[in-house]
Amino acid sequence: MNPSEVFEIIEKHTKMMDDSIPLIASENLTSLAVRRCYVSDFGHRYAEGRVGERFYEGCKYIDEIEELALDLTKRIFEAQHANVQPISGVIANIAAFFAITNVGDTIMSISVPCGGHISHDTVSAAGLRGLNVTHYPFDNEAVNIDVDETAKIAREVRPKLFVLGSSLILFRQPVKEIREIADEIGAYVMYDASHVLGLVAGKAFQNPLKEGADVMTGSTHKTFFGPQRAIIVSKEELAEKIDRAVFPGVVSNHHLNTLAGYVVAAMEIIEFGQDYAKQVVRNAKKLAEELYNLGYRVLGEEHGFTETHQVAVDVSDYGGGEKVAKKLEEVGIILNKNLLPWDPIDRSANPSGIRIGVQEITRLGMGEDEMGRLAELIDMTVRERKSFDAIRKEVKEFRRPFRRIKYSFDEREAYRFPELR
Ligand code: DSN
């Protein structure tokens, strides 16, 4: 056994990613300033409990960081209450379910083929909480919830909670309309903003809290600039229930190095988030148009293709999502196969679609000018217009100038990594 084996594998992975075009919609890069926090002593410590009410000594500086995290989160999302302790999006969702619902309650959520996250369903967090799940009726062409049909079903099943937000999310969702239905039957509204958190923060997408949601959960590493963890923001009246559901409910210690990284990311979002979010949406729209002009079935055609970082393409004419995603991986274009609204759930091994996210390449500095060439590289591969060896070289060449992380303080100030001891 030799630890250098691990570093060799990490090195190979890093080189692979450096030579690739990263288009997984749930990923992003962190700045050097954020990474600087990962390797700090915070990663060795415990801070169970709330700021100022810890179960361990030695937490006075950790408290300063968590206090900053809470203040910045409330400011960014214009929220009455924040909890920054969940260590992932699913943990945040489980905590929210524990805070708002009881075993045996019914919730409404978006089905996985229509874009919903597994944690909104019985197979994951909702099931762990013992909830019954009714899926929203969905308008496949609009790639969105059918509000009129939802109202009818909701009056019958009387859900305790409406869950909004998705993993395949192209358009704003009808938060105000769902709020009205919820008020009629006395239900809560929760929005899982994991995918769009950075776009909400950058004011390029709906802020669910301002449109009537009671709670918003979200992971902090997709369109937001943070390390992998999550937040819950809510109305003040739910504060105590949410805090108790998080600790001692589903979190004991909460990874304090990434908490510090989250604070730096929140500062980056305040400084650069609006420019970034606008550029992300512009890039996604441009890429969708380019692919459409090349003859691909891009979802959301009648509605401008996308309002987020995502583009969804039906590639069933080319062997389906599995085959296409694997081909693209061979040339260094990394994305994922995805169920589309008309796919049965048991097609998840080879769904009709692919999902493309432009948030990471935007952080690397790509703009609309690059989207035409990116569409061309995707098309060349899917339709096998050249040898994959030749395309792989072109992909590497295309990626070469985009090395630095933009929309960060890194270029203004030098953040030296601490001497490790
Ligand atoms: N399943 C992840 C995705 O959207 O890629 C989110 O957890």
Provide the pairing of β-strand 144-145 with 138-139. Answer: antiparallel
Rounded to 5 degrees, what are φ and ψ at 308?
A: -125, -155
pLDDT at 118: 97
Q: Please tell me the distance from the alpha carbon of residue 308 to that of residue 26, in angstroms, as a whole number.
A: 12
Neighbours of 102 (CB within 10 A): 11
Q: What share of the chain is helix, strand, coil (3-state, %, to 5)?
A: 45, 15, 40
32-267 under CATH 3.40.640.10, yes or no: yes
Joined tokens for residue 56: 């361990």
- pTM greater than 0.85 (yes/no): yes
Which residues, other chains included, contact 152 with Cβ-Cβ below 8 Å and sequence gap of 6+?
none
User: Is residue 401 classed as helix, strand or coil in its secondary structure?
Assistant: coil
Q: Which pLDDT score is estimated for 383?
A: 98
* Euclidean distance between CA atoms 398 and 400, whole angstroms: 6
DSSP 8-state secondary structure symbol assigned to residue 247: I
Q: Which atom of ligand 1 is nearest to the CA of 24?
A: 5
Among 145, 147, 97, which Cα is nearest to 119's? 97
Nearest CA to ligand 1 atom 5: 26
- Looking at residue 417, its pLDDT comes to 55
CA distance 29 to 35: 10
Residue 340 is encoded by which pair of tokens? Answer: 């589309």
List pocket residues of ligand 1, CB cut-off 6 Å.
25-26, 89, 117, 167
DSSP class per residue in 111-170: -TTTT--GGGSTTTHHHHTT-EEEEPPEETTTTEE-HHHHHHHHHHH--SEEEE--SS--
Q: What is the DSSP letter of 244?
A: H
- Give, as one character, the DSSP assignment of residue 253: S
> Which ligand 1 atom minimizes the distance to the CA of 195?
4
**Tell me, what's the pLDDT at 92?**
98
Atom 4 in ligand 1: which residue has the minimum CA distance?
A: 167
Task: Give yes or no for a contact between 404 and 22, defined as CB atoms under 8 angstroms apart.
Answer: no
Question: In the chain, what is the greatest distance between 2 CA atoms, to the nearest angstrom?
Answer: 63
Ligand 1 pocket test target in 24, 94, 117 with most atoms within 8 Å of CB = 117
| Residue-level pLDDT at 421 | 45
Distance 54 CA to ligand 1 centre (A): 33
- Cβ–Cβ under 8 Å, residues 283 and 306: no
Mutate to test the pocket of ligand 1, among 23, 24, 26, 222 (most ligand atoms within 8 A of CB): 26
pLDDT of residue 415: 58
Categorise residue 203: left if φ over 0, alpha if ψ from -120 to 50, beta otherwise. Answer: left
Q: How many residues does the chain have?
A: 421
The whole-angstrom separation of Cα 34 and Cα 264 is 6
pLDDT score of 410: 87
| Minimum-distance ligand 1 atom for the alpha carbon of 27 | 5
> Which residues does the chain have with pLDDT short of 50?
420-421
Q: Where are the domains of the chain?
A: 32-267
Cα angle for residues 119, 79, 232 (degrees, 5° grid): 25
Residue with tokens 């990394």: 334
What burial class does residue 393 get, using C-beta atoms within 10 Å of its C-beta: 0-12 exposed, 13-18 middle, 19+ buried?
Answer: middle
